[in-house]
Structure formats: structure tokens, C-alpha cells
Amino acid sequence: MSKEQTKPSESLVQQLLAERRELKVAVERLKLDLADTRSNSGGPDPRLRELQEEIERLRYQLASARAEVNRMREDRDELRAGIERALEKLTAEG
């Protein structure tokens, strides 16, 4: 083989070896990134506790509002019954 025939193949081999090194470096970087991402995402979302507390607060508010609505209904029913009794007395006397 002549030197001209070996030069392109040597050049190609060198190119491929350089590309292989670059790819190995890229793989190692990605492995480090993956390990970092896994270690950072290992625990629960930091907002989770805050959101759970907000849910509990809203549930308490809902229960309080429902209780208030029930009290108001009872008051309304008592007032209605009182008005009806008063009307009955007025019509009976009249």
C-alpha cells in the first residue's frame, strides 16, 4: 500500500478515536447529571407539605361554613315558625 492510501484511513481512525473520546466524555457528563437529578428529586416536592396544609385549612373553612349554614337554616325555621304563630294569634283574635 502506498502512503496516500494509508493517510486517509489513518486520518479516519484518528477522527473516529477523537469522536469516541468526545462521546465518552459526554456519557460521563450525562451520568453525572442523571445522578445529580436523581439525588435532588429523591424526596417529595417541597410544595407538597404547603399544599397539604392549605387543603386542611380549606377543609376546616368548608366545615365551618357548612355549620354556619345549618345554624342559619335553623334560625330561619324558628323565625318562620314564630311568624306563623303570631299570624295565627292575630287571625284568631281578629
- Return the pLDDT at 34: 87
The rounded distance, in Å, linking the Cα atoms of 39 and 31 is 12
- Return the pLDDT at 39: 79
- State whether 84 and 57 are in the same domain: yes
Cell 399544599: give the residue: 51
- Return the pLDDT at 8: 65
The boundaries of the domain holding residue 92 are 44-94
The rounded distance, in Å, linking the Cα atoms of 45 and 3 is 63
Low-confidence ranges of the chain (pLDDT < 50): 1
Query: Total structural domains in the chain?
Result: 2
- State whether 38 and 51 are in the same domain: no
- State whether 38 and 48 are in the same domain: no
- State whether 56 and 12 are in the same domain: no
- The pTM of the whole model exceeds 0.75: no
